[in-house]
Structure 1
């Protein structure tokens, strides 16, 4: 089933796209349009719906927050449609020249996206006629991920930093330590509206992001304590009474799992200890 919706919040127009092979969608992808700027391009799976929703917008430039397939799926089509430049961080522009392969479940939900060689790398800020957005690196979920922050309006376009106040599963290459540090850095900003790419919080966005930070910090501490006592990753998983979504784990070839969260904590601890020894 396919779901397409739109909404307006202050000067921002949001587009919400959902797909599920069976039943109603429960996971949605958002793109945002503000003053000539289109933020992200959605999933290739809903190419027709995304083109139809955005074809009449006066898009002057596109900005990509990171290389994941649900943000980059329609770059070529939207660039051709609007005849506009497409910007990103330098790291995203490099990753999109040869994007990572997708798991089976990612292909089913989002479809494969094309490589794109013409992203224009920028840093510090992206400007429109009436607004100026600070570009803020927020690695963790993806090494190249950035947020856009408009301080005068207290808007934060947070890409996938939030998603929810808890975490259901992790990508195998995510870093929970980096996510914690990125979230701590973002929470120092003055914002209220959180334009998340999957679950926007139009009110009390900062409060919701604080809840996620507490969840991550508590999870990290719980795993770290058991790891220090010599528990294996499987023993930690069982002791903390964690539950795995086995269907997601299998269909993603273990690229998406709750166990990846445990492994990320252990990996980050080892990395930190190694750095301390070398320094």
Structure 2
């Protein structure tokens, strides 16, 4: 499924999702500013991207990171435009990992593209001047696209969707995620263009709630560990229980990954 919504005269939201029982499982947002697209949605909407390809004149696509819900439409769109991505994402975009059955259902299996350009440090889109900024945490090589004059940040997955995150991926670095959100909160933002929640106007409180929760939770997790509790015991003490689908992710998501990251990972200086 694909839906296009105008945010303002410049930016369009391109929402993609897999439909189950008539409802989207989870929206993922790409954005179109003039002739430039930020991320490219999920592969289950590939047939719908053919309409986007014909309806809009897209010259460049900037990919924030190499997760399948952010580049699934490239195989349809890339033959008529240039694709830019962080260097360490190139191989995944050209030779995508074969997804497990669950994620093929939720997002779809991306197909590879022929070529990818290195991500520039900055670029122009008509009157807009974007700076590329590093946003590690959710993905160690993720970037965002900041337009300082407008106060816009296309932030991908830098800010967690849930206000009380308790499930993580094995390569997520929670302290680094918090550090990244702190740096985002120091920007003079009017709009945060989030990859799953959509555009967030005046996002400071939205970001602060997530910083405060993860910071306080990490302190409690470390206190419990100092008392001798194991990861499993900490999960039980915190009262965290996984959703029904957690086992279907086959180890790609877990509550224990969040606890382990809070105990062992550190925020690296950018």
Both proteins in one fold, TM over 0.5? yes
Check the 8 A contact 2:2/2:45 in 1, yes or no. Answer: no
Cα distance change, pair 37–137 in 1 and its aligned pair in 2 (3 A): same
- Residue 258, structure 1, aligned to residue 260, structure 2: no
Question: Aligned match of 1:172 in 170, 173, 179?
Answer: 170
* Partner-residue secondary structure (3-state), 1:170: coil
Contact 1:171 1:255 (8 Å CA) reproduced: yes
1:111 partnered with 2:101: no
TM-score normalized by the length of structure 2: 0.91
RMSD: 2.1
Q: Deviation at 1:54?
A: 4.5
1:98 Cα offset (Å):
4.0
- Of the three residues 98, 119, 122, the one matched with 1:122 is 119
1:181 to 179, 185, 192: 179
Contact 1:248 1:257 in 2 (8 A): no
- 3-state SS in 2 of match to 1:158: strand
Equivalents in 2 of 1:9, 1:212: separation in Å? 27
Report what 2:189 is aligned to: 191
Kindly report structure 1 stretches of 4+ aligned residues shifted beyond 4 Å. Answer: none
1:236 corresponds to which of 234, 237, 248: 234
Aligned length: 267
Query: Deviation digits for residues 8-39 of structure 1, max 9, x if unmatched?
Result: 23421111122233352241011111121111
Q: CA deviation at 1:3?
A: 6.1
Partner of 2:40: 41
Output the TM-score relative to the length of structure 1: 0.88
CA distance in 1, matches of 2:154, 2:223: 34
Q: Distance in 1 between matches of 2:98 and 2:75?
A: 18
**C-alpha deviation, 1:106, in angstroms:** 1.1
* Cα deviations by residue, 1:92-118 (Å, 9 ceiling, x for unpaired): 224434444423321111111123351
CA deviations 1:151-188 (Å, max 9, x no partner) are 00001100011224332521122111111111111111
Structure 2 equivalent of residue 64 of structure 1: 63
| Distance change >3 Å, CA 120–CA 242, structure 1 → 2 | same
**Closer/same/farther in 2, CA of residues 113 and 61 from structure 1, 3 Å limit:** same
* SS in structure 1 of the partner of residue 105 of structure 2: helix
Shift of 1:149: 0.5
User: In the aligned structure 2, how far is the partner of 1:40 from the partner of 1:201?
Assistant: 14
C-alpha distance in 2 between matches for 1:222 and 1:104:
36
Aligned partners of 1:259, 1:23: CA distance in 2, in Å? 33
Unaligned runs of 5+ in 2: none
